Amino acid sequence: MFLGLRTIVYQMSDLDAGKAWFTKLLGTEPYFDEPFYVGFEVAGYELGLVPKDEAGDSESTTYWGVPDAAVAMARLIEAGATLHHEVTDVGDSIRVAAVREPNGNVVGVIENPQFALVDAGRPFDGPGR
């Protein structure tokens, strides 16, 4: 079911400060920069920053790649997980969703037809390194 890890999303109490910190750390500007989401490409993977949930939810979510988010969600729920976030189209035919597995951890899935894995044999240590 899982195609591999794809994305990590961190919630930020100060999105601008988080963006500045990760820009300095990674040595590159985000490729997507909006008030609701800041996205960095890191060695073929996505590092996302979002404003902290007003409800106080500050967990990070790791997204596993799947061929079909709705099918994956049905299988996760059938296996005993509970719905955390419904399948949502976030643009460019990318669909995300999340469950809580029986121990309470958030498990995300992402259906992203544009995702292309880069050479996993080379560690990322910033651009051009």
Torsion, Cα of 70, 74, 80, 81 (10° steps):
10
pLDDT bracket for residue 117 (50, 70, 90): low
Phi and psi at 79, nearest 5°, equal: -80, 0
Q: What is the mean pLDDT of residues 16-21?
A: 94
The CATH number given to whatever domain includes residue 29 is 3.10.180.10
- Give pLDDT tens digits for 44-91: 899 999 998 765 566 789 999 999 999 999 999 999 999 999 999 999
Q: Which of 22, 4, 5, 12 is nearest to 126 (CA)?
A: 22
In the chain, the number of structural domains is 1
- Give pLDDT tens digits for 22-38: 999 999 999 999 999 99
Residue 16, domain extent: 4-111
123 occurs within a structural domain: no
60 occurs within a structural domain: yes
